[in-house]
């Protein structure tokens, strides 16, 4: 952040849902999100889910999906590739979540970082959701210099 720029923090990701109840149940059951607020609309409502300092905003949608939930997500610019979560025990998570469709993996990334593993799943609307274990920052990485103004 540049000097003089007001501090900002992450707020939320907005998801379009065919069935808000199914999406709310999915993120609540598997990722610990809880309902934080409901905002009525002329037709339907927006449901805010919270987990710690992160929110998901669930919008009702009857539109046909233009995104196929496959592999680790769509490669299209301008679209989020996937949502991602961390766990300390990927095997236990996968055992308990065996009913969730897997779109890719689990894969190991030991050649990059010992112990790093990930699996990609799909939520009720086909959005790809990554769950990984063992990722850590590389503290030897130097920040990119800000462009001169």
Domain 11-62 has CATH 3.30.750.24: no
Residue pLDDT, tens place only, 58-90: 999 999 887 777 888 888 777 788 999 999 999
10 Å Cβ neighbour count for 31? 17
CATH topology of 11-62 equal to that of 81-137? no
Domain boundaries, given as residue ranges, for the chain: 11-62, 81-137
| Bond preceding residue 106 cis, omega within 30 of 0 | yes
In whole angstroms, give the CA distance from residue 34 to residue 30. Answer: 11
Q: Are 82 and 120 a contacting pair, CB within 8 Å?
A: yes
Tell me the residue ranges of DSSP E strands in the chain.
12-17, 34-40, 45-51, 54-60, 83-86, 102-108, 117-122, 128-133
Give the closest residue to 67 by CA, choosing from 50, 52, 79, 55. Answer: 79
CATH topology (fold) of 81-137:
3.30.720
Instruction: Quote the pLDDT of residue 148.
Output: 67
Give pTM, 2 decimals: 0.86
The pLDDT profile of the chain, 149 residues, written as one tens digit per residue, is 567 789 888 889 999 999 999 999 999 999 999 999 999 999 899 999 999 999 999 999 999 887 777 888 888 777 788 999 999 999 999 999 999 999 999 999 989 888 899 999 999 999 999 999 998 888 887 777 777 66
């Amino acid at each position: 952040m540049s000097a003089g720029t007001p501090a900002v923090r992450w707020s939320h990701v907005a998801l379009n849902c065919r069935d808000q109840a199914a999406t709310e149940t999915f993120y609540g059951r598997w990722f610990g999100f809880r309902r934080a607020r409901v905002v009525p609309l002329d037709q339907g409502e927006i449901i805010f889910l919270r987990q710690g300092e992160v929110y998901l905003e669930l919008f009702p949608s009857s539109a046909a999906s233009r995104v196929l939930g496959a592999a680790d997500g769509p490669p299209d610019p301008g679209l989020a590739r996937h949502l991602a979560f961390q766990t300390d025990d990927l095997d236990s998570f996968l055992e308990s979540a065996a009913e969730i469709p897997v779109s890719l993996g689990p894969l190991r990334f030991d050649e990059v970082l010992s112990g790093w593993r990930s699996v990609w799943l799909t939520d009720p609307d086909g959005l790809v959701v990554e769950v990984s274990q063992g990722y850590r920052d590389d503290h030897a990485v130097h920040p990119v210099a800000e462009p001169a103004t």
